C-alpha cells in the first residue's frame, strides 16, 4: 500500500489544494500532517494575531478532515526531524507540500528534499500560494518583471489554472498514530479580539460570497474608505490558505460574467488587479530575496533615517496627534487589522514625516497583523518608503490631513478609534488642535508631534542627499 504524507503549512484547506489533490491521486492512503514548529512561533514576525488566526484555522481543518473520515496528525517540533521520523514510522513513500517563497521556508524545504534523497523518500512541492508563479509570468526574453503594469498585462494573458477537484476521501491513518494538541499559549484568548465571523475553509468561502453579494459591485468606488465595508477582508484567509487565490479569481470572473453594469464589471477587474499585486509581490520575494534584508533598489540604501525612538513609540501607540494615523494604529493593535488605505498612510507617515526606517514599521506590522505576510508586507512598506519595485516616487508624499479628509470625510472612523475626539464635531476632527482648540484642549488628545509641511521638505532632502541628487 502506498502512503503519502501531505504536509499542511499555509494551505489550510481541502479544496483546490494542488499538493493534497496530487497526493490523493498518487497514494492509497494520504496522511495529513501539520507540524507546530516552536522555532516559527518564537519568531518576531509571527505575532499573536497571526498565530491565533492560524490555529483557529488548523482546528477547522482538523474538523473538516474528520468530516471526510480522515484525521489531522499534529506534530510538535522541528519539521526536519518530525516528518522524517513519521515517514519511517508509517513507511510513507513520499511527502507532498505546497511551495512557499519566503527565504526561510525555501531553505527548510530544500533541507527536507535533501533528507528525503538521503533517506529514500520522495519530496514533491506544488504551486499553491499564487495563481501564477514568477516563472510563469516572464518577459519575452525570459526576464523578470519588476514593474507592475506590464507584469499584470502579461499575467492576464495566461489561461487561468483549473480548480483541483480531488480532495482526500475516506482512508486515512494507521490507528497507532498519536496526534498532539495545539499548544496552549494563549492563542484562544488572542483569537477573541480578531474581528472575523469565522475561521477555516467554510468561513473563507462564506466571506467571499458575502463580498460578492454586498461589496463587489462598489469595490472600485469604496475600497479606499476605511469606514465603509468596501473590501473583502479575505487577506488573513489567503495568508492561512483557507481559500486559494485561484478559487477567488474563478468566483469573481463568474460573478463578473453575470453583471450587466459596466461599473460592476470594472469593479471586478479592479479587485482582480489586487490579487495580481499579491502574485507580483510573491514573485518579487521569490526572485529577489534580498528585499527582506534591504531596499529592493540598492541606491536607496544610502538614505538616512534620523527619526527618534520617542516618535516611533508615539506612532506604535497611536499618539502622533494626527488623528487618521492614530486611529489606524490603534485599530491595528486592538484587532490585528488595518485597511489598505490606512496602511499606506501610516507607512508614509513613519518614513516620510518621522524619518524612521521602513523596516521598523515592517516589523511592527508583522507583529500585529492577522494577515502578516512577508511578501505583501515587505512590498507595501518598500512601496511606501519609495525603496521598492515600482514604488511611489520619493517626492510624492501623502499629506495626512488631506488623506484624512478625503477617505474618512465624516470622521467616523477616527471617532471610533480615537474616542477622545468623539465630541469634536465636523471636519475639525481631522486637525482638532488647529480647528477646534477649545474641545481639543479638554480632550486629552496630543498635539501633532511634527509639522507635516516641514517634515515633507526634510524627507525630500534626506532622499536627495542619499541618492546623490544634490
Ligand X SMILES: Cc1cc2nc3c(=O)[nH]c(=O)nc-3n(C[C@H](O)[C@H](O)[C@H](O)COP(=O)(O)OP(=O)(O)OC[C@H]3O[C@@H](n4cnc5c(N)ncnc54)[C@H](O)[C@@H]3O)c2cc1C
Active-site annotation holds for 358: yes
Chain position carrying cell 496526534? 179
Between the alpha carbon of residue 286 and those of residues 101, 397, 433, the distances in Å are 5, 29, 46
Instruction: Choose between 73 and 350: whose C-beta lies nearer to ligand X.
Output: 350
Stretch that binds ligand X, among 7-15, 120-128, 366-374, 417-425 (CB under 6 A): 366-374
Bridge partners, residue 76, by sequence: 36
d(CA 447, CA 58): 45
Query: 3-state DSSP call for residue 74?
Result: strand
| Chain residue whose CB lies nearest ligand X | 380
Q: Examine residue 205 and tell whether it contacts ligand X (CB under 6 A).
A: no
Stretch that binds ligand X, among 31-39, 76-84, 121-129, 230-238 (CB under 6 A): 230-238
d(CA 45, CA 12): 20
Q: In the β-sheet with 29-36, what is the strand arrangement from edge to edge?
A: 73-76, 29-36, 3-8, 94-98, 122-126
Contact 153, 269 (CB under 8 A): no
**CB neighbour list of residue 322: distance below 8 Å, 6 or more residues apart:** 349, 400, 401, 404, 448, 452
Active-site annotation holds for 305: yes
Q: Examine residue 274 and tell whether it contacts ligand X (CB under 6 A).
A: yes
Instruction: Choose between 60 and 267: whose C-beta lies nearer to ligand X.
Output: 267
| Smallest distance, ligand X to C-beta of residue 357, A | 13
Of residues 317-346, those binding ligand X (CB under 6 A): 339-340, 343-344
Report the residue from 10, 233, 319, 452 that binds ligand X according to the rule CB under 6 A.
Answer: 233
Instruction: Choose between 125 and 244: whose C-beta lies nearer to ligand X.
Output: 244
Q: Examine residue 365 and tell whether it contacts ligand X (CB under 6 A).
A: yes
Stretch that binds ligand X, among 298-306, 378-386, 440-448, 456-464 (CB under 6 A): 378-386
Of residues 113-152, those binding ligand X (CB under 6 A): none
Active-site annotation holds for 187: no
For residue 458, what is its C-alpha cell? 526634510
Active-site annotation holds for 455: no
**CB neighbour list of residue 184: distance below 8 Å, 6 or more residues apart:** none
Stretch that binds ligand X, among 5-13, 26-34, 92-100, 273-281 (CB under 6 A): 273-281
Q: Examine residue 242 and tell whether it contacts ligand X (CB under 6 A).
A: no
Report the residue from 102, 164, 373, 439 that binds ligand X according to the rule CB under 6 A.
Answer: 373
Q: What is the pairing mode between strands 3-8 and 122-126?
A: unpaired
Annotated active-site residue in 358, 383, 417, 440: 358
Contact 436, 466 (CB under 8 A): no
Between the alpha carbon of residue 442 and those of residues 302, 411, 434, 438, the distances in Å are 44, 19, 14, 7
The enclosing H or E element of 93 equals none
Q: Examine residue 231 and tell whether it contacts ligand X (CB under 6 A).
A: yes
From the list 381, 289, 371, 375, the residue with the least C-alpha distance to 47 is: 371
Stretch that binds ligand X, among 31-39, 96-104, 202-210, 379-387 (CB under 6 A): 379-387
Active site residues: 274, 277, 305, 340, 358, 381
The binding site for ligand X (CB under 6 A) comprises: 223, 231-235, 238-239, 274-275, 277-278, 281, 339-340, 343-344, 347, 365, 369, 371-373, 376-377, 379-381, 384
Amino acid at each position: 500500500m502506498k502512503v503519502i504524507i501531505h504536509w499542511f503549512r499555509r494551505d489550510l484547506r481541502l479544496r483546490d489544494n494542488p499538493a493534497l489533490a496530487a497526493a490523493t491521486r498518487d497514494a492509497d492512503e494520504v496522511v495529513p500532517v501539520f507540524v507546530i514548529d516552536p522555532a516559527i512561533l518564537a519568531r518576531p514576525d509571527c505575532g499573536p494575531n497571526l498565530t491565533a488566526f492560524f490555529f483557529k484555522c488548523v482546528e477547522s481543518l482538523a474538523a473538516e478532515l474528520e468530516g471526510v473520515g480522515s484525521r489531522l496528525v499534529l506534530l510538535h517540533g522541528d519539521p526536519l526531524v518530525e516528518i522524517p521520523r513519521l515517514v519511517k514510522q508509517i513507511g510513507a513513500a513520499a511527502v507532498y507540500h505546497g511551495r512557499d517563497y519566503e527565504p526561510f521556508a525555501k531553505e527548510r524545504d530544500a533541507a527536507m528534499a535533501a533528507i528525503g534523497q538521503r533517506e529514500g523518500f520522495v519530496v514533491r512541492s506544488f504551486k499553491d500560494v499564487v495563481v501564477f508563479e514568477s516563472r510563469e509570468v516572464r518577459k519575452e526574453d525570459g526576464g523578470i518583471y519588476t514593474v507592475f503594469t506590464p507584469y499584470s498585462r502579461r499575467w492576464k494573458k495566461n489561461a487561468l489554472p483549473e480548480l483541483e477537484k480531488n480532495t482526500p476521501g475516506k482512508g486515512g491513518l494507521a490507528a497507532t498514530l498519536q496526534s498532539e494538541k495545539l499548544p496552549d499559549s494563549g492563542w484562544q484568548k488572542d483569537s477573541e479580539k480578531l474581528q472575523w465571523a469565522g475561521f477555516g475553509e467554510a468561513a473563507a468561502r462564506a466571506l467571499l460570497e458575502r463580498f460578492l453579494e454586498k461589496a463587489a459591485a462598489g469595490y472600485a468606488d469604496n475600497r479606499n474608505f476605511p469606514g465603509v465595508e468596501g473590501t473583502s477582508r479575505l487577506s488573513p484567509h489567503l495568508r492561512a490558505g483557507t481559500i486559494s487565490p485561484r478559487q477567488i479569481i474563478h468566483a469573481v470572473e463568474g460573478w463578473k460574467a453575470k453583471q450587466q453594469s459596466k461599473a460592476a464589471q470594472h469593479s471586478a477587474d479592479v479587485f482582480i488587479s489586487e490579487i495580481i499585486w499579491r502574485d507580483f509581490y510573491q514573485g518579487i520575494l521569490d526572485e529577489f530575496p534580498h528585499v527582506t534584508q534591504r531596499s529592493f533598489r540598492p541606491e536607496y540604501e544610502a538614505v538616512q533615517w534620523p527619526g527618534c525612538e520617542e516618535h516611533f513609540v508615539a506612532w506604535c501607540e497611536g499618539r502622533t496627534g494626527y488623528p487618521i494615523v492614530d486611529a489606524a494604529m490603534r485599530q491595528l493593535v486592538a484587532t490585528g487589522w488595518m485597511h489598505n488605505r490606512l496602511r499606506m498612510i501610516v507607512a508614509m507617515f513613519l518614513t516620510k514625516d518621522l524619518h524612521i526606517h521602513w523596516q521598523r514599521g515592517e516589523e511592527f506590522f508583522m507583529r500585529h497583523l492577522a494577515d502578516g505576510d512577508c511578501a505583501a508586507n515587505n512590498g507595501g512598506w518598500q512601496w511606501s518608503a519609495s525603496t521598492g519595485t515600482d514604488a511611489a516616487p520619493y517626492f510624492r508624499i501623502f499629506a495626512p490631513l488631506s488623506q484624512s479628509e478625503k477617505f474618512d470625510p465624516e470622521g467616523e472612523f477616527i471617532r471610533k478609534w480615537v474616542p477622545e475626539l468623539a465630541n469634536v464635531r465636523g471636519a475639525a476632527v481631522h486637525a482638532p488642535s488647529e480647528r477646534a482648540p477649545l474641545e481639543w484642549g479638554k480632550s486629552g488628545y496630543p498635539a501633532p508631534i511634527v509639522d507635516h509641511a516641514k517634515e515633507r521638505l526634510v524627507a525630500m532632502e534626506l532622499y536627495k542627499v542619499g541618492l546623490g541628487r544634490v
